[in-house]
Amino acid sequence: MKHLEETIKLLDHIHENPESTQRELVEKLDSRLGKINYLIQALTGKGIIKLKRFKNSRQKSGYLYILTPRGVKQKIRVTRIFLNQKLKEFDRLPACNRY
């Protein structure tokens, strides 16, 4: 479950903030740089995100992390799985703890 949540948060943040640096992603997602780098490489390899190099005034060069059409579909799929799991958890709660 935790991995699904992390994946959703990463894809959401990349979709909403494509100019984010890996260090910003680490801070925003409360993760580690090595883990974020690993996930970005994996998502790039699967065609879920693509990297576009750009130059800006803040740093010598950077990347835009762009969600591909396949990435948007993956984000929807993962979110659907996550929500279904949460609903199953909710259904297993005793009635007194549901509300």
Please state, rounded to an integer, the average pLDDT across all residues of the chain.
88
Tell whether 25 is covered by a domain. Answer: yes
Tell whether 9 is covered by a domain. Answer: yes
> What's the token pair of residue 29?
């997602």
pLDDT in tens, 22-57: 999 999 999 999 999 999 999 999 999 999 987 764
Lowest mean pLDDT among 6-20, 26-40, 56-70, 83-97: 56-70
Tell whether 72 is covered by a domain. Answer: yes
* Enclosing domain of residue 51: 2-90
Helix axes 2-16, 69-92, angle to 10 degrees: 140
Residue 35: the pLDDT is: 94
Residue 74: the pLDDT is: 93
CATH code of residue 34: 1.10.10.10
The CA distance from 31 to 6, in Å, is: 9
Residue 3: the pLDDT is: 85
Tell whether 79 is covered by a domain. Answer: yes
Please count the structural domains in the chain.
1
Tell whether 98 is covered by a domain. Answer: no
Residue 98: the pLDDT is: 63
Tell whether 97 is covered by a domain. Answer: no
